[in-house]
Amino acid sequence: MYKNSALEWEHIRELYNIVYGFNNFSEEYRKNLRKAAIHSDLIFYIVDDAFTAYTEGMLPQDYYDTWKAYLYDVGKSPIFILSIYLAYNMGFLDEPFAKELQKVLQGYNKSYAMLNAIYPEMLNQNWPKEIGKVTRNQQAG
């Protein structure tokens, strides 16, 4: 899907290997990708925390909607989808927020198109029920 002289990948798993794979920590473009991934992770976990606060009654709907708007801004980014992929596979995502991510990102055409292209597993209805069940070996494969 994404091809140039430095990167060539089609599935989010392949992007993971480009960003975090072994023997890949010295190239400058990979360092920059990891910096972008760190920022993406921060956004992901801020929205996750806002969702938790909202569902526990500590944050009103309109405040949560402000935080949720990040999903529309960055939800189509492969680096943000990588943050979701990592949280999902490592078990750092709970089922209610996984369902929220699915609902929001599937309902937004630009995000849906990107998910369909690079992480179609997230579009599966059972995706929220399988959190953390992918091993590191399966993830790298």
- pLDDT, tens digit (0-9, with 9 covering 90-100), for 1-25: 555 445 678 999 999 988 887 766 6
Backbone CA torsion sign across 70, 76, 78, 82: positive
d(CA 85, CA 83): 5
Delimit the domains of the chain by residue range: 9-140
Owner of token pair 């938790």:
52
Please compute the mean of the pLDDT values over residues 73-99 and round it to a whole number.
95
Q: What is the pLDDT of residues 36-56, one digit of tens each?
A: 999 999 999 999 999 999 999
The mean-pLDDT minimum among 38-42, 111-115, 137-141 falls in: 137-141
The percent of residues above 90 in pLDDT, for the chain, comes to: 69
Per the prediction, the chain carries an average pLDDT of 88
Rg for the chain (alpha carbons), in Å? 15
Q: Kindly state the tokens that stand for 84.
A: 């979701």
- 111 touches 131 (CB < 8 A): no
